[in-house]
Amino acid sequence: MSIHQFRASAVTLAIAAALAAPAFAAPATSSAYRTDTQTSQVQDATSSSIGEVNMIACIMHALSADQLVNKGAYLALVDKNKCDSEKRSSTSNAGSTSDGAQAAASYVTATVESTRASNNDPMISKVWLDLEEEGFHQTIYVHVAATAAPTASNAYGIFRLDFCGKAEGMSGCPSRGYLEGTADGLNFYELDDGGDDGETTALRLASASSAGGSGRLVHDGQDGTSAFLFAYDSSYFRRADDNTDQCFTRDATDPDTGMSVWRYGLYDASSGARVDRNSGFPIDITSNGTVYHGYLGYFGLSVPFEAQSALHNGATVEKVDYSNKDTPTRTSYSVMQSDGKLTKYTRQTRSLHSMDQIRFTTFVGNDAANFFATAEPNQQYELYWDDARGTFVASAQFVCDQNGCQSNDLPNVQDVNLSYWSARGGVQGYSQSLGGEVFVDLQGAGGTLDSSSVNVVFRSQDLVYPADLPAHLYCVQNCPTSASLNRFFTGGGQGGSPYDSVTFNQFQPAPLSSVVAYTTDAASVTLRDSTDAPVTFADREALESQPMFGNGVRSGRLFTNLADAECSEGSGTYCDYKVNDAEVYYQWETGANTWNQFAAVKDSSGAFVTFDPPLQLSYTVPAGARYGQYANKSLVLQYNGFGDLQGIPGTCVSPINNATVNCNTQGARYVPAFAIPYDETAGQVSSLDGQTHYLVKWLDREIRFAQKPLSSCSSAGLTLPSNVVLPTASNLKDPSDSASDVYIGAKPTVTSAPRVIHGDVKY
């Protein structure tokens, strides 16, 4: 009996995926491509009030307790970023230009013990989940008793899950609740006793079958009370609150039904085997006699907050190797860390014609009036190339505040004349759909463009290790120094940017005296400015005081030969855009996040352990209305490891009616614009050179029902319930209380390596 089968929400109803006919390969029925589990979850306005339910379900699934019944207590690492629906669907992600920000994992450790006395007894799972955030330690105690699996008449089975969140050094459980599947429905109650900010949520779902059910949800919080009544049958879902009564179809094939996938797997196109990447491995680190569990990978180091002070150059960590599944082996390594890192970018090209309608962002300086009439200076804008009209179009502006940067759609899209780019030699920007930095080469272009002959330069990336650091680097535009970083972040934004004032948004030809020169220090893995000071800044609080740089600071393009930036041969002036013609350039970044920093380990011989960079893939989006403006377009995706595929462009939807809306709409959710189908033809991707083919399979997706006229529900006889009795606090149980019948006892001491890493059983 699988714990993840008990995933619950007011409207979370399983929808089976249909297999498409083979296109060019036929992976075996026993292959991972065929057998890897897929889960669907309905996203609705009610979901925001019971997000804790879905997070609990995600965490329980990631523990794999059902696969290790009666195997003894074990440790599991859970990537909390993958279970935080609010974080992954935040509109602030729309403008992220940090490759590592979305890909970096953030693991928490759970101790798990799953038992079953006999086939006639319930499966009991006990969980101690440790949460560490900047010195605040909390343990989540969870007790699950699963008695009966889901059936056609009872979609959630029979089970009871009790949880309690207890902060270290504090009595009681400020956050506690239960989720209960019974023979006649589902009950959920949560109490978050935060004083003036206290909240309660109560849900009752009656007759919880795939054919139909109804219920009520009430949430009381600091922003007031929200209450919903809902009902569904095999065809429709009806929901009402104080203001609206709405009808939605449950037909997943309806063209207006929205789908977003949060995790994908990548598979060999012929064998159907998972494609593995050497993207990192689990580590153990000991601090003050306590062993902490973390993860080291391409995007940095993830360890609990309390262990971070033990991570310094020369510190010892242990790699946990699962190649021998029966007995994992441990190998000691020494840590090498820096508050910044250097990334190498290697040139790739495609045509502007192939970039039709694909969004990218660009920064507009003081000459905003020439961008379009109402453009604001020193702002970031979203653009796309409209091939039919032969022009660039500005569609949105990014606005930054203390909560991050949000994408706000412009009231009307604005044409941007080609002449705006002439002094820059082309369009410099960032596109999630092309893997990062892009440059549209418009050198010498004018009048009407032949988009098929215009190059768009994009880049593959590699992390630079100490032995490969260039001895000298140069910079023309947006060049940070130790002084400029400290002046800006400790001086409340003094200087206007964290970059050298001469180079800040330097789009014009610059004399040699304005070119910033750097050296590198392999021993400390740092970039150093002309004063030999490290170009690093890692004060999190100071960085977050300037929201635009909360994800760190990146330099402009760095190059090894001055000739790479010379505006024209022998001119003695230097242009940043010319660096786009170079086969290779570099960027330095620094910040407080793990993905801003270099972290690596050396073996006993002093050799570095290296990791695979993201695998870049080419994907041609299928035709059809479901794919909107991206239909038939070619995108570049980045595969970081199983479950982690990046690069699908996004859009914003309303949580009220699921329709596509402007991203500046209150409450708007940022979601992937489409889903790659589970299909051997439409779900096929390839390496950039087209030589190697893979298959993509969605693993976790959300479904957003399409709105229909209320009369559709009324005609179908679907009515809202009345007199629904909600669960109450009287049924709360405390799994941390020795007097409770769900007491899970003291946390077992487990010294062996983590056995599960976000659902993947290692041994």
Q: What percent of the chain has pLDDT over 70?
A: 91
Last residue of a domain, one of 584, 611, 638: 611
| Phi, psi angles (nearest 5°) of residue 45 | -55, -30
- pLDDT bin (cut points 50, 70, 90) of residue 51 is low
In terms of domains, do 587 and 668 share one? no
- The pLDDT assigned to 20 comes to 31
- The pLDDT assigned to 94 comes to 42
In terms of domains, do 500 and 415 share one? no
Average pLDDT of the chain is 86
For residue range 523-571, what is the model confidence (pLDDT) as tens digits? 899 999 999 999 999 999 999 899 889 889 999 999 999 999 999 999 9
- pLDDT bin (cut points 50, 70, 90) of residue 25 is low
- The pLDDT assigned to 152 comes to 76
In terms of domains, do 72 and 182 share one? yes
| CB distance 461 to 99 below 8 Å | yes
Cα–Cα distances (Å) from 754 to 62, 66, 311, 525, 760, in that order, read 13, 16, 20, 30, 11
- The pLDDT assigned to 708 comes to 96
- The pLDDT assigned to 134 comes to 58
In terms of domains, do 423 and 502 share one? no
Please check the confidence at residue 18 and state whether its pLDDT lies above 60. Answer: no
More confident position, 16 or 171: 171
- pLDDT bin (cut points 50, 70, 90) of residue 89 is low
Distance CA 538, CA 209 (A): 52
Q: Is residue 419 part of a domain?
A: yes
- pLDDT bin (cut points 50, 70, 90) of residue 8 is very low
Window from 76-85, 223-232, 415-424, 715-724 with minimum mean pLDDT? 76-85
- The pLDDT assigned to 366 comes to 84
Q: Is residue 310 part of a domain?
A: yes
Per-position b or e across 639-649, b if 16+ CB within 10 A of its CB: bbbbbbbbbbb
Please check the confidence at residue 59 and state whether its pLDDT lies above 50. Answer: yes
- The pLDDT assigned to 48 comes to 65
Please check the confidence at residue 77 and state whether its pLDDT lies above 80. Answer: yes
In terms of domains, do 630 and 586 share one? no
When divided into structural domains, the chain yields a total of 5
- pLDDT bin (cut points 50, 70, 90) of residue 209 is low
- pLDDT bin (cut points 50, 70, 90) of residue 11 is very low
Please check the confidence at residue 90 and state whether its pLDDT lies above 60. Answer: no
- The pLDDT assigned to 195 comes to 57
Strand-pair category, 107-115 with 74-79: antiparallel
Rounded to an integer, what is the distance from CA 689 to the centroid of its chain? Answer: 27
In terms of domains, do 642 and 690 share one? yes
Q: Is residue 235 part of a domain?
A: no
Measure the CA dihedral 596/612/756/34, to 10°. Answer: 130
Largest CA distance in the chain: 85
Q: Is residue 16 part of a domain?
A: no
Q: What is the mean pLDDT of residues 248-272?
A: 92
Distance CA 404, CA 549 (A): 9
Distance CA 362, CA 379 (A): 9
On the 0-12 / 13-18 / 19+ scale of CB atoms within 10 A, 306 is middle
- DSSP string for 659-719: -B--TTSTT-EEEES----S-TTTTEEEETTS--EEEEEEEEEEEEPPEE-HHHHHHTT--
- The pLDDT assigned to 692 comes to 94
In terms of domains, do 176 and 161 share one? yes
Q: State in Å, rounded, how far the first CA of the chain is from the last one.
A: 20
**Secondary structure element (H or E) that encloses residue 53, with its range:** helix 51-63
Q: Is residue 10 part of a domain?
A: no
In terms of domains, do 300 and 320 share one? yes
- The pLDDT assigned to 133 comes to 65
- The pLDDT assigned to 46 comes to 75
Distance CA 348, CA 342 (A): 19
- The pLDDT assigned to 159 comes to 94
Sequence letter at residue 367:
D
**Domain extent for 482:** 464-592
Please check the confidence at residue 106 and state whether its pLDDT lies above 50. Answer: yes
- The pLDDT assigned to 289 comes to 82
- pLDDT bin (cut points 50, 70, 90) of residue 190 is very high
- The pLDDT assigned to 290 comes to 83
Length of the chain: 763
Distance CA 38, CA 28 (A): 17
Q: What percent of the chain has pLDDT over 90?
A: 49
Q: What is the mean pLDDT of residues 104-111?
A: 81
- pLDDT bin (cut points 50, 70, 90) of residue 196 is low
Last residue of a domain, one of 419, 441, 462: 462
In terms of domains, do 274 and 291 share one? no
Please check the confidence at residue 381 and state whether its pLDDT lies above 90. Answer: yes
Please check the confidence at residue 596 and state whether its pLDDT lies above 50. Answer: yes
- The pLDDT assigned to 154 comes to 79
Sequence letter at residue 510:
A
Q: Is residue 236 part of a domain?
A: no
More confident position, 474 or 44: 474
- The pLDDT assigned to 1 comes to 29
Give the chain's count of helices (H) and strands (E).
7, 46
Last residue of a domain, one of 611, 646, 673: 611
- The pLDDT assigned to 194 comes to 65
- pLDDT bin (cut points 50, 70, 90) of residue 14 is very low
Query: In the numeric block, which tokens belong to residue 18?
Result: 């249909």
Q: Is residue 537 part of a domain?
A: yes
- The pLDDT assigned to 79 comes to 84
In terms of domains, do 519 and 390 share one? no
Window from 12-21, 134-143, 190-199, 736-745 with minimum mean pLDDT? 12-21
In terms of domains, do 669 and 574 share one? no
Q: What is the mean pLDDT of residues 67-91?
A: 79
- pLDDT bin (cut points 50, 70, 90) of residue 479 is very high
| Phi, psi angles (nearest 5°) of residue 514 | -90, -10
Please check the confidence at residue 423 and state whether its pLDDT lies above 80. Answer: no
- The pLDDT assigned to 92 comes to 45
Cα–Cα distances (Å) from 515 to 295, 473, 512, 587, in that order, read 39, 10, 5, 15
Q: Is residue 454 part of a domain?
A: yes
Report the sign of the C-alpha dihedral through residues 730, 734, 735, 737, in that order.
negative
Please check the confidence at residue 208 and state whether its pLDDT lies above 60. Answer: no
For the ranges 181-190, 369-378, 392-401, 555-564, the one whose mean pLDDT is highest: 555-564
In terms of domains, do 348 and 395 share one? yes
Strand-pair category, 258-268 with 280-287: unpaired
Window from 17-31, 273-287, 440-454, 519-533 with minimum mean pLDDT? 17-31
